Amino acid sequence: MVTALIDYESGNLHSAEKAFQRMAREVGAGDVIVTSDPHLVASADRIVLPGDGAFPACKQALFDHRGIYEAMERAVFERGVPFMGICIGMQMLATRGHEYSETDGFDWIGGDVVHIEPGPDKKVPHMGWNDLVIDNPHPVLDGIGTGDHAYFVHSYHFRVADPAHRLAYCDYGEEITAIVGRDNMVGTQFHPEKSQANGLKIIANFLDWRP
């Protein structure tokens, strides 16, 4: 079994790689590889799309790596491969993003990525620890409950079109989408690899998930 961690030169993958490799060993989920090879992505058993930076730049960087998006799309929709997006990787699942300019997302989970409007007593970016509020149960959230915390760094968030696709949110003056999910796809706005025990638990659950 192989989990492909997509490298499209959008952020430092070192901590994510180490966290996924550690939990893969613990749950017996095989190998975790960092790759920009669409052939390896197409044949992977699980796919993880990370990302740091602005939505348009990350989208462009991904599509500049020719063939990766098409390989992911075929794996996710034709073979039902479990997929996890992290931070911008989660936001790119949306219909469109509104950071700097309106940019089409993957439209795998309907909704828009919009600027956080937290009110006068909060700062943007939303950075640091915040408590999760669970909306909808999901196998990737086994052992995770309302009040458990995760580590966030972002200025935009995913406003989903269908409330059933929001698995969890956090309170930051407004409800900030924290986890989305649909079919064989999940995404976390926070960084699970930086979220200590709770993040590692979510990673382990994903690696053991058979949707």
Position 119 scores a pLDDT of 76
Q: Which two tokens stand for residue 154?
A: 């972002």
pLDDT at res. 210: 96
Instruction: Give residue 12's pLDDT.
Output: 77
> What pLDDT score was predicted for residue 162?
98
- Consecutive sets of 10 residues in the chain, 211 residues long: mean pLDDT of each? 94 91 97 96 97 92 93 97 97 96 97 91 93 97 98 97 98 95 98 97 98 93
Catalogue the active-site residues. 87, 191, 193
The pTM assigned to this predicted structure is: 0.96
Concatenating the DSSP letter of every residue in the chain gives -EEEEE-SSSS--HHHHHHHHHHHHHHT--EEEEE--HHHHHH-SEEEE---S-HHHHHHHHHHSTTHHHHHHHHHHHS---EEEETHHHHTTSSEE-SSS-EE---SS-EEEEE----TT--SSEEEEEE-EE-S--GGGTT--TT-EEEEEESEEEEESSGGGEEEEEESSSEEEEEEEETTEEEESS-GGGSHHHHHHHHHHHHH---
Residue 11 pLDDT: 77
pLDDT at position 121 is: 84
